[in-house]
DNA sequence: TCCAACAATGTACACGCTTACATTTCGACG
DNA sequence: CGTCGAAATGTAAGCGTGTACATTGTTGGA
C-alpha cells in the first residue's frame, strides 16, 4: 500500500540513453522515430512500468481523451443499457468516460462546471434534465453531442436524434386494425422533452386515423408510478389501449390491470417505450418502441471521431417495434 | 460551436491587477488570502467564466480528484443501483468518477493501465472480473479500495466486505421452520468469487440444521439462464427451495416454475440475492438478501476521504433480508 | 570528393497551475 | 516615530509531457 510514484519520461530517457523527446515519440507513434529504438524504449518502459502521464500530456496538446457522459441515472435500465454499449465503444478507442449523473443532483450546472475543468474533449448529452444551452455555455472548449430529445429547431449542433414516428405508427395501425378505438396515454414527467415527443408521435399516428387519445396524470417513469396511475385511471375509464411513457411504467400499469382482472393483450393492449431487456421477460412481455443502441452508439462515435474542424452534423435514427404479448398476436 | 479556449489564471490575474498566485489562492481556499480580494477574484472569474485547469492543477500537486470505478457492467441493475448512490456521494464532494466497464472487455489490464495514466487518486474495485493483485500492480500510486468479494486472507487492504451470513441464516431458518427439507442452489458463473461466497453462506446456514443442498449447473446471472437452468432442474427434481445466485436468475427461475404449474411460495420457495428494486415488483416479489447500499457507500467514502498516510482498514457490512411472497408468509 | 537532402535524435520552451520563498504592507506597541 | 511581526501578495521554479527547431549522422548523385 505504499504510494510509490512511477518514473517520469526523463528518468526513463536516462535509463535508455536517449532524450525525453525520444520517449515521447515512442509513445505517440511519431513516424520520425527509428522502429528499433521505438521497440527498445517500449520494452524498457514495460519493464519499469512506465506510462506517460495523461495530465501532463493533455496539458500541452490540449487533447485529454476524456468524454463526459451526462446522464440522469445509471440505475434506470433504459439509460444504462444504451450507456453500456457506448462506454464499451469508447474504451475500445482508448477514450475515457467521465460520468455525470444528474438525477439526484440539485446543481447540475456546478457538476458540469467541475467536469469541464478536466478539459474533456467531448460531451455526450444523454440527460434531458439539463438544457443544451447550459451545456454549451459550460463546455465551451469541448464538442457537445446531443443525444437527448430536446427540440433543436435549426440549430447547428452535433446531434443524434431518435425518431419513433414510424414505429409508433406501426403499432397504432396494428391496434386500430384490431378494432381498438379508445386510446389512453400514461405520461412521464411533465417537464420532460422525451415525454412530449413520445406523446406527439402517438398523437400524429392516431390523427391519421382521425382519432385522438386521452391524456392522463403524469407519473415519473417509475414502476410504482405506472402502477398507481393505472389504478386511478382504470377506476374511471375502460380504454382499449394504454400507451406508456416508458417500459417501467408499462410494466407497473400491466400489473395493476392484471390485479383488476383485465386480460392483457385482449381486454387491454399495453405499449411501452425504451425496449429495456426486461420488457422481453416472460412475466412482462411488453410490446415496446426500441431505440437501436448499436446504431446510436456508432453514430455518437462517428461524431466523436470527426476532426474538430468538421461542421456540425445531424443523425436521425429510427426506432424499431418489438412485438410482444401485451398487444396480443403480432402482425403477420 | 467555435472551440474557444477559456482564459488562463495569468490572464485573469492581469485583469484583476494581481498575480497568478493570488488567483490560485483564491480558488484553493488558502487562508493566507484576504477575504475581500478572494471575493473580488471569484467575482471576476465568474464574470469571465474562468475555471482553473484541473490537468495543470493536478500536475503539480498530484491530486487529481479522480476516482476510478471498476465495474462489470452498468447494464446490470445489481451493480447500477449501488453505483448510482456512490457516484452521487462522490459528486457531492466534487470528486469525479472515471468509469471502467470490464464485462465485455477482453483486456481489463489495458483498460486499467490507461485509466492509471490519469493519475486517479482512488480506485474502487467493484468488479470481481479483475484480480486485486492486478489492480494493485497497475494502480500503484492510487489507493485501492476493494468492494468485491474476492477472499483477502490477512492482506492489508482498504476493504468493504459484504457479509450475508446472518441474512442467509435467517432465511434458511425460516424455511426449515416451514418444514422445507429439499434445498437446491442455482449458481451463477463458476469463476465468480461472489457466487462461491453466497453458496458458502447458504451451506453454512443449512449445516447448522444438519442439512445440505444440491448444487446445480452454473448459469450466468441473467434472467435467461435462470429460466433455462430452472426448467432443466425442475424436470428431474422437486425441491422445496430454490436459492439463486442473484435476483435476475431468481426471477427467471420463478417464471419457469410458474410455467410448469408450481405455486411459488407454496410448492416452491425462491430466494434471490442483490435486492434489486424490481425484485419488489408485484409480478416478481422475490425474497432477497439485500446489501445496504447507503452503508456501503458511506464506508467507501470514508475510506476515500482518509488521509493518504492512514493505515488500511476493513469494513464489514451486514446484508438485510427483504421478505417477499416468493417464500410464502413472512415471519412474525 | 563534396554537398544537398533526408532520417534520427537532441534541445529547450511552452502548457496552466501550485507553492516555497522573497517581498511588501500594515497595524500595534514601546 | 521607528521597529517588529503578522498578514497579504509577488516571484519564480517546477510538475511531466509535446513539439518546433537545431543538430547530427547518413546516403546518393554529380
- SS3 state of residue A232: helix
Q: Cβ of B308 under 8 Å from any chain A Cβ?
A: yes
Q: Cβ of A1 under 8 Å from any chain B Cβ?
A: yes
Given a cut of 70, whether residue B31 has pLDDT beyond it is yes
Mean pLDDT to the nearest integer, B115-131: 95
Given a cut of 90, whether residue A185 has pLDDT beyond it is yes
CA atoms within 13 A on the CB side of A171: 35
Given a cut of 90, whether residue B179 has pLDDT beyond it is yes
pLDDT tens-digit readout, A99-158: 999 998 889 999 999 999 999 999 999 998 899 999 999 999 899 999 977 777 778 889
- Determine if strand C comes within 7 Å of the CB of A19: yes
Q: Is B158 left (phi over 0), alpha (psi -120 to 50) or beta?
A: beta
For chain B, the first-to-last Cα distance in angstroms comes to: 64
CA distances from A108 to A75, A104, A123 (A): 18, 9, 14
Residue pair B289/B164 in contact by the 8 Å Cβ criterion: yes
Helix (H), strand (E) at residue B24: helix B20-27
The closest nt to A19, taking CA to C1', is C10
Per-residue pLDDT, A218: 85
pLDDT tens-digit readout, B238-282: 999 999 999 999 999 999 999 999 999 999 999 999 999 999 998
- Determine if strand C comes within 7 Å of the CB of A29: no
- Determine if strand D comes within 7 Å of the CB of A27: yes
For the record, the C-alpha cell of A331 comes out as 402482425
Per-residue pLDDT, B71: 97
Dihedrals phi, psi of B90, to nearest 5 degrees: -60, -45
Q: Which of residues 227-256 of B touch strand D (CB under 7 A)?
A: none
Q: Do A1 and B143 touch (CB under 8 A)?
A: yes
Q: Which residue's C-alpha cell is 465503444?
A: A89
Percent of chain B with pLDDT over 90: 82
Band of residue B4 on the pLDDT scale cut at 50, 70, 90: low
Pick A189 or A65 by higher pLDDT.
A65
> How far apart, in whole angstroms, are the C-alpha atoms of residue A314 and residue A318?
13
Pick B149 or B132 by higher pLDDT.
B132
Per-residue pLDDT, B217: 74
- SS3 state of residue A17: coil
Helix (H), strand (E) at residue B36: helix B35-48
List beta partners, residue A315. A160
For the record, the C-alpha cell of B185 comes out as 442452489
Per-residue pLDDT, A307: 85
Residue pair B290/B166 in contact by the 8 Å Cβ criterion: no
Given a cut of 90, whether residue A38 has pLDDT beyond it is yes
Mean pLDDT to the nearest integer, B205-217: 89
Given a cut of 60, whether residue B41 has pLDDT beyond it is yes
Residue pair A105/A111 in contact by the 8 Å Cβ criterion: yes
Band of residue B310 on the pLDDT scale cut at 50, 70, 90: confident
Helix (H), strand (E) at residue B100: strand B96-101
- SS3 state of residue B215: strand
Residue B140 DSSP symbol: T
B-chain residues near A250 (CB < 8 A) = none
Identify the closest residue of chain B to A311 by CA–CA distance: B1
Q: Cβ of A259 under 8 Å from any chain B Cβ?
A: yes
**Separation of A56 CA and D9 C1' (Å):** 28
Band of residue A332 on the pLDDT scale cut at 50, 70, 90: confident
Identify the closest residue of chain B to A77 by CA–CA distance: B75
Q: Do A5 and B141 touch (CB under 8 A)?
A: yes
Q: Cβ of B320 under 8 Å from any chain A Cβ?
A: no
Strand ordering across the sheet containing B183-187: B213-218, B183-187, B241-244, B269-273, B287-290, B320-322
- B39-47, long-range: CB within 8 Å, 24+ apart, which pairs? B40/B16, B41/B12, B41/B16, B44/B12, B44/B15, B44/B16, B45/B12
For the record, the C-alpha cell of B34 comes out as 484576504
Per-residue pLDDT, A4: 61
Per-residue pLDDT, B2: 45
List beta partners, residue B144. B123
Where are the alpha helices (H) located in chain A, listed in sequence order? 9-16, 20-27, 35-48, 54-61, 77-92, 108-116, 132-138, 165-177, 193-207, 223-236, 247-259, 293-305
Residue pair B5/B50 in contact by the 8 Å Cβ criterion: no
Percent of chain A with pLDDT over 90: 83
A-chain residues near B52 (CB < 8 A) = 117
How crowded is residue B309: how many other Cβ atoms within 10 Å of its Cβ? 6
pLDDT tens-digit readout, B168-178: 999 999 999 99
* Mean pLDDT score across all residues of chain B: 93
What pTM did the predictor assign? 0.94
Identify the closest residue of chain A to B99 by CA–CA distance: A97
For the record, the C-alpha cell of B323 comes out as 421478505
Residue by residue, DSSP assigns B263-282 as: -BTTTBEEEEES--GGGGST
> How far apart, in whole angstroms, are the C-alpha atoms of residue A229 and residue B138?
51
- SS3 state of residue B269: strand
Per-residue pLDDT, A1: 44
pLDDT tens-digit readout, A230-282: 999 999 989 999 999 999 999 999 999 999 999 999 999 999 999 999 999 98
Amino acid at each position: 500500500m505504499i504510494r510509490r510514484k512511477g518514473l517520469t519520461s526523463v528518468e526513463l530517457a536516462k535509463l535508455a540513453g536517449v532524450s525525453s523527446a525520444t520517449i515521447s515519440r515512442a509513445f505517440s507513434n511519431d513516424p520520425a522515430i527509428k522502429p528499433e529504438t521505438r521497440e527498445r524504449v517500449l520494452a524498457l518502459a514495460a519493464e519499469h512500468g512506465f506510462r506517460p502521464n495523461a495530465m501532463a500530456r493533455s496539458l500541452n496538446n490540449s487533447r485529454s481523451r476524456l468524454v463526459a457522459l451526462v446522464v440522469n441515472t445509471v440505475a434506470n435500465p433504459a439509460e444504462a443499457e444504451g450507456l453500456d454499449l457506448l462506454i464499451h465503444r469508447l474504451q475500445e478507442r482508448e477514450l475515457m468516460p467521465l460520468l455525470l449523473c444528474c438525477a439526484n443532483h440539485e446543481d447540475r450546472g456546478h457538476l458540469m462546471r467541475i467536469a469541464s475543468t478536466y478539459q474533456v474533449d467531448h460531451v455526450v448529452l444523454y440527460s434531458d434534465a439539463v438544457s443544451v444551452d447550459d451545456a454549451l455555455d459550460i463546455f465551451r472548449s469541448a464538442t457537445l453531442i446531443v443525444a437527448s430529445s430536446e427540440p433543436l429547431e435549426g440549430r447547428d449542433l452535433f446531434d443524434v436524434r431518435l425518431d419513433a414516428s414510424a414505429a409508433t405508427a406501426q403499432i397504432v395501425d396494428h391496434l386500430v386494425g384490431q378494432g381498438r378505438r379508445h386510446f389512453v396515454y400514461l405520461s412521464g414527467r411533465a417537464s420532460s422533452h422525451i415525454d412530449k415527443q413520445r406523446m406527439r408521435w402517438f398523437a400524429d399516428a392516431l390523427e391519421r386515423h382521425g382519432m385522438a387519445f386521452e391524456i392522463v396524470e403524469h407519473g415519473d417513469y417509475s414502476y410504482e408510478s405506472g402502477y398507481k396511475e393505472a389504478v386511478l385511471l382504470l377506476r374511471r375509464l375502460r380504454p382499449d389501449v394504454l400507451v406508456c411513457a416508458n417500459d417501467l411504467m408499462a410494466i407497473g400499469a400491466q400489473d395493476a390491470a392484471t390485479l383488476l382482472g383485465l386480460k392483457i393483450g385482449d381486454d387491454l393492449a399495453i405499449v411501452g417505450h425504451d425496449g429495456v431487456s426486461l420488457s422481453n421477460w416472460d412475466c412482462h412481455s411488453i410490446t415496446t418502441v426500441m431505440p437501436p443502441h448499436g446504431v446510436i452508439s456508432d453514430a455518437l462515435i462517428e461524431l466523436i471521431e470527426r476532426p474538430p474542424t468538421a461542421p456540425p452534423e445531424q443523425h436521425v435514427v429510427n426506432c424499431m417495434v418489438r412485438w410482444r404479448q401485451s398487444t396480443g398476436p403480432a402482425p403477420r
